[in-house]
Amino acid sequence: MEEIALDRDDITALSSDVRVMILKALDSRPMTVSELADRLGLAKSTVHQHLAVLASADLVAHASARKWRDYTLTEKGRRILHPGRDHRITIILGTSLVAVTAGALCVTSFLRGFAVQGGSVVREPLLLYAGEALLGVTVVLWYLAMRCRRRTTPIPA
């Protein structure tokens, strides 16, 4: 697991309960200052000041593609909130590698068939079903890995 080095700005930013609540609120989805103020029951100016401190510590970033600024967690902010989440992608991709290998072997065994006495070839349909199921599991695991990766990559400012 990659270590997170915290400097004085990070510790200052994390020392406020309000700023920690803002980080936790932004963990669910990007939000505007108004949405954060309503959710936390604070004034917009107060939330804006706390967001400035978090942004200077590189824990949040804003995307102003629309009329309103959406604030979101940076990768550093996500790693502070979820330090073990980076290993999930590795586990999912490793499992998908095993599933795709087993699925390919099952489908290949079905296509080759089994030689029986008399020289005929028998194909067991159960191998085809198992291979297709394992390949389907692989696709689902790749989808989950992409979703985890999207959650851990920051939105550019």
Q: What is the pLDDT of residue 157?
A: 41
State residue 63 phi and psi, 5-degree precision.
-120, 120
pLDDT digits (tens, 9 = 90+) for 29-54: 889 999 999 999 999 999 999 999 99
pLDDT digits (tens, 9 = 90+) for 57-107: 889 998 776 677 889 898 888 888 877 666 777 888 899 999 999 999 999
Strand, coil or helix: what is 61? strand
Radius of gyration of the CA atoms of the chain, in A: 24
**Domain boundaries along the sequence of the chain:** 8-81, 86-152
Q: What is the pLDDT of residue 23?
A: 92
Average pLDDT, the chain: 85
Dihedral (CA of 151, 155, 76, 20) sign? negative
Q: Residue 15, Cα to own-chain centre: how many angstroms? A: 26
The candidate with the shortest Cα–Cα distance to 15, out of 63, 59, 66, 48, is 59
Tell me if the domain spanning 8-81 has CATH number 3.30.1360.200. Answer: no
Q: What is the pLDDT of residue 19?
A: 92
State residue 135 phi and psi, 5-degree precision.
-70, -35
Strand, coil or helix: what is 31? strand
Tokens 């309960």, residue located: 17
